[in-house]
Structure 1
Amino acid sequence: MNRYFLKTIFIGFAILLNTASWADTQSISEYRLSSPNETIDVVVKVKEGVTYSVEFKGQTILDFSEVDLFVEGYPSLSKNTNVINASTDNNRATVYPEVRVKSAQIDDHYNQLSLQFDNKMTLRFRAYDNGVGYQFVTDIDGSIKVIDELAEFNFASGTTTYFPEEEGFYSHNERSYLLEPISDIKSRLGSTPTLVNSSPAKVLITETALRDYAGMWLTGNGKNGLKGTFPELPTKVVMGEAPWEDRNEPVAERADFLAITDGSREFPWRVLAIAENDIDLLSNQLTYQMAIPNQIGDTSWIKPGKVAWDWYNANNLHGVDFEAGLNTETYKFYIDFAADNGIEYVILDEGWYPLGDLMGTVEGFDVPAIMAHAKKRDVGIILWTTWLTLRDQFDEAMDRFVELGAVGIKPDFFQRDDQEMVNFYWKIADEAAKRKLLVDPHGSYKPAGLRRAYPNIITREGVKGLEWNKWSYDSTPEHNTTLPFIRMVAGPMDYTPGAMSNAIGPAAWEAISYSGKASDHQDFSIRFTRPMSQTTRAHQVALFTLFESPLQMMADSPSQYKKEQTTASFIAKVPTVWDATIPIAGKIGDFVAIARQSGDKWFLGAITDEFARELNVDLQFLGKGKYSVEIFRDGVNAKKWAEDYAIEKRIVTSKDTLALELAPGGGYSARFEPIK
Structure 2
Amino acid sequence: MTRFVPIVLAFAVPAAVAAPFAAPLASPDRHLSVDVRVTPAGTLEYAVQRDGKPVILPSALGLVLEGADLASGLTLAQASPVRAVADDYELAAGKKRRIGYRANEQVVTVRNAKGQTMDVAFRVSNDGVAFRYVVADAGLPLKTFVSEATSFAFARDAKAWLQPVAVAQVGWGRANPSYEEHYQRGIPVGTPSPMAGWVFPALFRTGDTWVALTETGMDGSWHASRLAARSEGGVYRLGTPMAPEVADAPMGNALLASARGTLTSPWRVAAIGSLGTLVESTLGTDLAAPAIAFDRAKAVPGHASWSWALLKDDATEFDTQKRFIDYAADMGWNYTLVDAEWDKRIGYERMAALARYAQSKRIGLLAWYNSSGNWNDVPFTPKSKLLTHAQRKAEFARIAGMGIKGIKVDFFNGDGQSMIRYYVDILDDAAAAGLLVNFHGATLPRGWARTYPNLMTAEAVRGFEYTTFEQKDQDAVPAHAAMLPFTRNLFDPMDFTPMVFGDIPKIRRVTRNGFELAESVLFLSGIQHYAEIPEGMAKAPPYVKAFLRTLPRSWDDVRFVAGDPGRHAVIARKAGSAWYVAGFNGTDEDATLDLDLAFLAGRSGQLITDGAGERDFAQGTLAGGRQKIVVKARGGFVARFE
TM bucket normalised to smaller: 0.7 to 0.9
The residue type paired with residue 32 of structure 2 is I
Measured against aligned partners, the alpha-carbon deviations of 1:66-124 in whole angstroms (never above 9, x if no partner) come to: 11112222331413x43322113333535232324111222311111101234242111
Segments of structure 2 that go 5 or more residues without pairing to the other structure are 1-7, 169-175, 373-382
Distance 1:363 1:259 in 2: 40
Distance 2:340 2:458 in 1: 17
Choose which of 550, 561, 564 in structure 2 pairs with 1:584: 561
For the structure 1 residues 39 and 423, does the alpha-carbon distance in structure 2 shift closer, same or farther, using more than 3 Å as the test?
same
Contact 1:279/1:485 (8 A) holds in 2: no
- Alignment map for 1:587-602 (pairs within 5 Å): 587-602=564-579
Contact 2:189/2:231 (8 A) holds in 1: no
| 2:86 equivalent to 1:93 | yes
Shift of 1:326: 2.6
Counterpart for residue 387 of structure 1: 371
The alignment-based identity, stated in percent, is 27
Distance 1:409 1:115 in 2: 43
Contact 1:43/1:54 (8 A) holds in 2: yes
| 2:353 equivalent to 1:376 | no
| 2:154 equivalent to 1:151 | no
Choose which of 322, 337, 341 in structure 1 pairs with 2:327: 337
For the structure 1 residues 99 and 6, does the alpha-carbon distance in structure 2 shift closer, same or farther, using more than 3 Å as the test?
closer
The residue type paired with residue 7 of structure 1 is A
Measured against aligned partners, the alpha-carbon deviations of 1:19-67 in whole angstroms (never above 9, x if no partner) come to: xxxxxxxxxxxx6211111111111111312111111111112111111
Distance 1:115 1:364 in 2: 56
| 2:615 equivalent to 1:643 | yes
For the structure 1 residues 565 and 59, does the alpha-carbon distance in structure 2 shift closer, same or farther, using more than 3 Å as the test?
same
Distance 2:51 2:32 in 1: 6
Counterpart for residue 458 of structure 1: 456
Measured against aligned partners, the alpha-carbon deviations of 1:390-422 in whole angstroms (never above 9, x if no partner) come to: 434433322222122111100011141110110
Choose which of 284, 300, 324 in structure 2 pairs with 1:287: 284
For the structure 1 residues 133 and 315, does the alpha-carbon distance in structure 2 shift closer, same or farther, using more than 3 Å as the test?
same
For the structure 1 residues 87 and 297, does the alpha-carbon distance in structure 2 shift closer, same or farther, using more than 3 Å as the test?
farther
**457-466 or 67-76: bigger deviation:** 67-76
| 2:47 equivalent to 1:53 | yes
| 2:618 equivalent to 1:613 | no
Shift of 1:616: 4.3
Choose which of 541, 545, 552 in structure 1 pairs with 2:528: 552
Distance 1:259 1:604 in 2: 43
Segments of structure 1 that go 5 or more residues without pairing to the other structure are 18-30, 240-248, 317-323, 355-360, 503-526
Counterpart for residue 171 of structure 2: none
Distance 1:330 1:198 in 2: 52
- Alignment map for 1:141-290 (pairs within 5 Å): 141=138, 142-169=141-168, 170-179=176-185, 180-185=187-192, 189-211=197-219, 212-219=221-228, 220-231=230-241, 258-276=256-274, 278-290=275-287
RMSD: 2.9
Q: Secondary structure at the match of 1:43?
A: strand
Counterpart for residue 634 of structure 2: 665
Contact 1:8/1:88 (8 A) holds in 2: no
Counterpart for residue 7 of structure 1: 12
For the structure 1 residues 65 and 617, does the alpha-carbon distance in structure 2 shift closer, same or farther, using more than 3 Å as the test?
closer
Counterpart for residue 378 of structure 2: none
Distance 1:15 1:428 in 2: 47
| 2:468 equivalent to 1:470 | yes
The residue type paired with residue 494 of structure 1 is D
Distance 2:513 2:227 in 1: 36
Q: Secondary structure at the match of 1:501?
A: coil
| 2:502 equivalent to 1:496 | no
| 2:72 equivalent to 1:78 | yes
Distance 1:617 1:452 in 2: 31
Contact 1:49/1:78 (8 A) holds in 2: yes
Contact 1:233/1:254 (8 A) holds in 2: no
The residue type paired with residue 173 of structure 1 is Y
Distance 1:39 1:550 in 2: 33
The residue type paired with residue 622 of structure 1 is L
**291-300 or 306-315: bigger deviation:** 291-300
Shift of 1:578: 0.7
Contact 1:233/1:420 (8 A) holds in 2: no
For the structure 1 residues 117 and 501, does the alpha-carbon distance in structure 2 shift closer, same or farther, using more than 3 Å as the test?
same
For the structure 1 residues 493 and 187, does the alpha-carbon distance in structure 2 shift closer, same or farther, using more than 3 Å as the test?
closer
Distance 1:438 1:237 in 2: 23
Distance 1:186 1:413 in 2: 24
Contact 1:619/1:658 (8 A) holds in 2: yes
Counterpart for residue 39 of structure 1: 31
Shift of 1:427: 0.5
Q: Using structure 1 for the length normalisation, give the TM-score.
A: 0.82
Q: Using structure 2 for the length normalisation, give the TM-score.
A: 0.86
**362-371 or 124-133: bigger deviation:** 362-371
